[in-house]
Copies of this chain bind each other. A is one copy, B any other.
Amino acid sequence: MNLPDLERQLAFLKEIDRLKSIVRLTPLIDRSRRENSAEHSWHLAMYALVLAEHAAGTVDVLRVVKMLLIHDIVEIDAGDVPFHVPATHEGQAERERLAAERLFGLLPDAQAAEFRELWFEFEAAQSDDAKFAKALDRFQPMLHNAATEGGTWVECEVTLEQVESRCRPPIERGSPTLWTVAAQLAEEHFRGASQES
On A, residues with C-beta under 8 Å from B are: 1, 6, 9-10, 12-14, 16-21, 28-30, 32, 35-36, 38-39, 41-43, 45-47, 49-51, 54, 61-62, 65-66, 69-70, 107, 111, 140, 143-144, 147, 177, 181
Contact = CB atoms under 8 A, between A and B. Distances in A.
Contact of A107 (B10, B32, B36, B50): B50
B6 A54 contact: yes
Contacts of A65: 45, 62, 65, 69
Nearest to A1: B177
Given A13-B46, A42-B45, A69-B46, A181 B30 contact: no
A69 B45 contact: yes
Contacts of A61: 62
